[in-house]
Structure 1
Amino acid sequence: MSTRNKEILLRFLDAANSGDLDVITSLEHPDAVIRTPLPVSGLADVFTRLRTAFPDLRVAVEDVIAEGDKVVCRNRVTGTHLGEYMGRPATGRTVSYEEIFVVRFADGLIAETWGVVDVLTQLRQLGFLPAESGTPAPD
């Protein structure tokens, strides 16, 4: 089961990178509980919002660990802020931040997610928050 769930998650992330909402939707359990920093109604909503703000969004998988009905992945996310995000207009700035997701599967579908996203780094890179002391501000 672990290997199969890992393959499903990687297929999901490929669809997220290509913007294929049909595949994303097909891999989400009808009763899925999605926990992310953004208030969303499902996985397709997450990636619609992200790809509206960052049309070149790219999720690069750095580590994947699978056991039982859960898969954990550590990712590097990059993109260029070209659309509204979190109520803010496009800045044209690029972001590169890390995230970790724990994904639980049921019936071969994504049934539950817990996401830890480095939103602080993202907001600093977009210029929405001041840079860390000793860190150059973004252009």
Structure 2
Amino acid sequence: MSAAQATSNKATFSRFHDATNTGDAEVISKTIDEVVEPNVLFHAPVPTGATGAQALKQVWAVLLRAFPDIHVTVEDVIEEGDKIVSRNTVTGTHQGEYRGLPPTGKSITYNEIFIVRFAGGRIAEIWGVVDVFSQMRQLGAIPA
């Protein structure tokens, strides 16, 4: 893969990440349409029966409903070949239903790691590990 393509992948990743931090479901959805393959393979716990880009849009709809002020801080980005690895810290305030829990008003901080594979300049595959245990513990669903 060329250095230009790698730079392009990083720019695409940044664009997607910037969109997620707008807190605007419309902007996120539109950006997903532009930078993510419609049939993206999504290897992460998704709370829906959807697949591909539709599943990714639904994940963000659920997160924004639960945590309207959700913010993802990228701590590390490692690039190798056609993949980008991102280690993130996520913060938000629980103001809407999430995984069956009514809003608690609690602020949460949790970590996640994603590996994103690119094909033809678009996101083609995503693997994610999200610290859901920490989320649930902070929301009071699991005893501390």
TM over 0.5: yes
Aligned to 2:91: 78
Instruction: Report deviation, 1:43.
Output: 1.7
Whole-angstrom distance in 1 between the partners of 2:21 and 2:109: 15
With normalisation by structure 2, the TM-score equals: 0.86
Offset at 1:37?
2.1
- TM superposition shift of 1:87: 1.5
Return the alpha-carbon distance in structure 1 between the equivalents of residues 124 and 99 of structure 2.
26
Distance (whole Å) between structure 2 residues aligned to residue 26 and residue 45 of structure 1: 16
The corresponding residue for 2:33 is 25
Aligned to 1:135: none
Partner of 1:63: 76
Give, as a single letter, the amino acid of the residue that structure 1 aligns with 2:83. Answer: K
Unaligned runs of 5+ in 1: 132-139
Q: In the alignment, which residue of structure 2 is the partner of 1:6?
A: 10
CA contact (8 A) 1:28 1:43 kept: no
Kept in 2, the 8 Å contact 1:25–1:44? The answer is no
**Structure 1 residue 3: deviation in Å?**
2.0
Where does the alignment leave 5 or more consecutive residues of structure 2 unmatched?
A: none
Q: Using the aligned pairs only, state the percent identity.
A: 53
Q: Distance in 2 between matches of 1:107 and 1:28?
A: 10
Larger relative helix fraction? 2
CA shift for structure 1 position 38: 2.5
CA distance in 2, matches of 1:36, 1:110: 15
Per-residue deviation, residues 7-66 of structure 1 (Å, max 9, x unmatched): 111110110111322112221102201122223432211111111110000000000011
SS of the aligned residue for 2:108 comes to strand
For the residue of structure 1 that corresponds to 2:136, the secondary structure is: helix
Which of 95, 102, 118 is the aligned partner of 1:89?
102
Counterpart in 2 of 1:137?
none
* Number of residue pairs aligned between Structure 1 and Structure 2: 131
1:38 aligns with 2:51: no
- The two structures have a TM-score, normalised by structure 1, of 0.89
Counterpart AA for 2:136: L
- 2:85 aligned counterpart, secondary structure: strand
Structure 2 SS opposite 1:52:
helix
